[in-house]
Amino acid sequence: QQPVQSPQAVILREGEDAVINCSSSKALYSVHWYRQKHGEAPVFLMILLKGGEQKGHEKISASFNEKKQQSSLYLTASQLSYSGTYFCGTEVQGNTPLVFGKGTRLSVIA
Amino acid sequence: DAGITQSPRHKVTETGTPVTLRCHQTENHRYMYWYRQDPGHGLRLIHYSYGVKDTDKGEVSDGYSVSRSKTEDFLLTLESATSSQTSVYFCAIRGLGEAFFGQGTRLTVV
């Protein structure tokens, strides 16, 4: 069962912030975040394990609320290079296949 | 970059013909996956493998079969291609953490 991502799409101006959400109806072991640019393969951003851990990568960070089975990806001071489609992938047990959401298309304009 | 190669990168085939896509890795990772990507659906799992000759079905496995006779190779076969199988196919590999994706195969069934 695919996790639900919101919003489906967002347009930002350079320097603005954005939040992308991912929620699941199942108890999760981990949440993965990937970014895919047009015509390219998805690229790993970060993993969050259950426990409410928050991680960061450049100006992109994420959190995982284990009780709500929700994860949020935070993009601060967005740059043109942040444009792409962001996917969350969820895992109910360690080393089980990732199930991905439908993606959030992020467009950053000058 | 993780060593993962998909072939072919592009293919056009006729309805009813069998097609085999190849995924080759040089990372010696245990887990390998086949996903398809379609607009509005994100990445959906077709089949996956836990090791040599150890495979299982994903959520959209109908019409597909897989084989893994060596750690480094994971083959996806469309037994009799249909237009609904026109898609971009991604192979992914995974060790203990994040997944790495191949560059994708764009398959068109006419």
- Split at pLDDT 50, 70, 90, the class of A93 is confident
* B residues 54..93 contacting A (CB < 8 A): 58-59, 90, 92
CA distance B30 to A94: 13
pLDDT above 80 (res A53): no
How many CB atoms sit inside 10 A of residue B51's CB?
11
Q: Are the beta carbons of B41 and A99 separated by less than 8 Å?
A: no
pLDDT above 70 (res A36): yes
Domain that holds residue B20: 4-109
| CATH code, domain with B31 | 2.60.40.10
Average pLDDT in the A55-71 region?
Answer: 84
* Nearest chain B residue to A40, by CA: B103
pLDDT above 80 (res B12): yes
| Nearest chain A Cα distance for residue B43, angstroms | 6
- Percent of residues, chain A, with pLDDT higher than 70: 93
All domains of chain A in start order, with CATH: 4-109 (2.60.40.10)
Give the strands of the sheet with A60-65, arranged side by side: A4-6, A18-23, A70-75, A60-65, A55-57
Q: Are the beta carbons of B43 and A42 separated by less than 8 Å?
A: yes
pLDDT above 90 (res A55): no
Give pLDDT, residue B1: 62
Q: In B56-80, which positions are buried (b, 16+ CB within 10 angstroms) versus exposed (e)?
A: eebebbeebbbbbeeebebbbebee
